[in-house]
Structure 1
Amino acid sequence: MSEVDFEKNVMTEILPSLIDSTCMDRRMMLNFPPKYGELIFDKEGRYIRTDSTKATNEEKKALLEWKRRNLEIENDTSKIIVAFESKIKFNNEDLREDFEKHFKGAKLQKLKKEDSLEYKIDIEKIKLKGKFKLMDLSKFPEKDKIWGTKYNFNFSGVAYFRKIQFDTTKKYGILDGGFVCGGKCGQGFRIYIKKVNGKWKVDKIDGTWIV
């Protein structure tokens, strides 16, 4: 089996866990909690706290509506569509230090020419068990138009992952990924994976950027 085929198989196996761990329901993120109470500032104008005992009737109604909407979203059983970048690209960032700090004693294998080769994931082979469903990013409008378009399904955002870098024993791996939920909304991840009893598992996820 080639290096690319090996990695592709691992990515296909681990993707359901990656999607469940990094993707979010965009509706929850955009349902911002309302102001509730009087804002208290110090003499220099710096915020100290909010006195919720001084909430107005309008604010109380707004809070109830916010809670109702959150509950409505949580109870919605329809699938949440994630635009997935099925082409897995090479990560130019050096991950060696983070990898060897996390997996004590493990060493990343030296990069070879074939490690930079891109490959495409067959979405039909990804078996998701949760509330998310993948749709190839190529089926969506390009760039900023993706956010202004009205869809007949619950569109949540764009998920992408970069190529996995493995250790010399092929028991540990590290990769980067991200979930973008709007023009100025998203988060990046550094993901550590390992093989346990013959199965690949997510060991830890660290945030790398957020907007």
Structure 2
Amino acid sequence: MIKPLLFSFLLITLLFVNCQKKINDLEFEKKVMTEIFPDLIDSICIDYRVVLNPPPIYGLLTYDEKGNRISVDSTMSIEEQKQRMAKWKHNQEVIEKDTSRLIVAFNPKIKRNSKDLKEYLKQHFKVKEVFCPKIKGDSAYTIDFKNIPLKGRFQLKNISEFPKDRREFWRKKYDFIFSGAVYFTGIQFDKERKFGVLDGGFSCGRHCGIGVRIYIKKVNDKWMIDKIDNISVS
């Protein structure tokens, strides 16, 4: 009877260790994501009113032989352009002084990146080995974003509270200032888990947004953003 009992004990212990490994790997990444989250939101999210309201043309345009604009002489502006510029500056001042919360849609379920970013991680941080978590099954986890204090005027709302139809999502008139939608993928770490890389993006309309690659690092036991590269623009 001793051997079967010993075998059962070892089997249970092994399963427990594997379970702990799964929890530890996911919890570690979740902890890092939670810590870096306010900086991610502050760096990626933008006020759509500024993006969709570029300054008007001010001055005399000069074109080359192919019809490409090569310069603008602002000293040659006409009265109509001056009026449009004055109106644009006024609108910008109103936006800058506005202290209203900017609502951003966010899916709190963070999924593993469909792309393997290990080469980007190695190249950027000059690391030799990448950390490979031993996780079987679903590697997604949920961020408790409502309990994470953010830095600026942005406030997140679960994307499940918005219309599922893409057209209605952007066309609906909300009773708050809707600035767009943000997302992030899971983090890929180096072997020592001192450096990481993830993808993210912000959309301010059906055909308006950016995709980014974010490099993070651990400095004095704190995670911080090292660099953000634009990888797509629409």
When normalised by structure 1's length, the TM-score is 0.94
In the alignment, what sits opposite 1:61? Answer: 83
In the alignment, what sits opposite 1:43? Answer: 65
Distance 2:229 2:178 in 1: 25
In the alignment, what sits opposite 1:27? Answer: 49
Counterparts in 2 of 1:129 and 1:46: CA distance versus 1, 3 Å: closer
Letter in 2 for 1:170: R
| Among candidates 81, 98, 102, match of residue 76 of structure 1 | 98
In the alignment, what sits opposite 1:125? Answer: 147
Letter in 1 for 2:228: I
With 6-15 and 43-52 compared, the bigger mean Cα shift is at 43-52
Q: Is the aligned partner of 1:172 residue 2:195?
A: yes
Greater radius of gyration (CA)? 2
Identity of aligned residues (%): 49
Letter in 2 for 1:186: G
In the alignment, what sits opposite 1:17? Answer: 39
With 3-12 and 43-52 compared, the bigger mean Cα shift is at 43-52
In the alignment, what sits opposite 1:99? Answer: 121
Q: Is the aligned partner of 1:196 residue 2:214?
A: no
In structure 2, runs of 5+ residues without a counterpart are 1-22
Distance 1:20 1:10 in 2: 16
Distance 1:125 1:108 in 2: 31
Distance 1:118 1:64 in 2: 49
In structure 1, runs of 5+ residues without a counterpart are none
Q: When the two structures are aligned, how many residues end up with a matched partner? A: 211
Shift in Å, 1:42: 2.4
Counterparts in 2 of 1:103 and 1:44: CA distance versus 1, 3 Å: closer
Q: How does 1:154-165 map to 2 (within 5 A)?
A: 154-165=177-188
With 131-140 and 48-57 compared, the bigger mean Cα shift is at 48-57
In the alignment, what sits opposite 1:151? Answer: 174
With 21-30 and 118-127 compared, the bigger mean Cα shift is at 118-127
Letter in 2 for 1:154: I
Q: Once superposed, which parts of structure 1, at least 4 consecutive aligned residues long, lie more than 4 Å away?
A: none
In the alignment, what sits opposite 2:14? Answer: none
Counterparts in 2 of 1:43 and 1:201: CA distance versus 1, 3 Å: closer
In the alignment, what sits opposite 1:90? Answer: 112
CA contact (8 A) 1:90 1:162 kept: yes
CA displacement, residues 139-184 of structure 1 (integer Å, 9 cap, x when unaligned)? 1112221110111211111000000111111111110000011111
Aligned-residue Cα RMSD (Å) equals 1.5
Letter in 2 for 1:36: Y
Which protein has the bigger helix share?
Answer: 2
Letter in 1 for 2:43: S
In the alignment, what sits opposite 2:26? Answer: 4
CA contact (8 A) 2:25 2:135 kept: no
Shift in Å, 1:111: 5.1
When normalised by structure 2's length, the TM-score is 0.85
CA contact (8 A) 1:3 1:114 kept: no
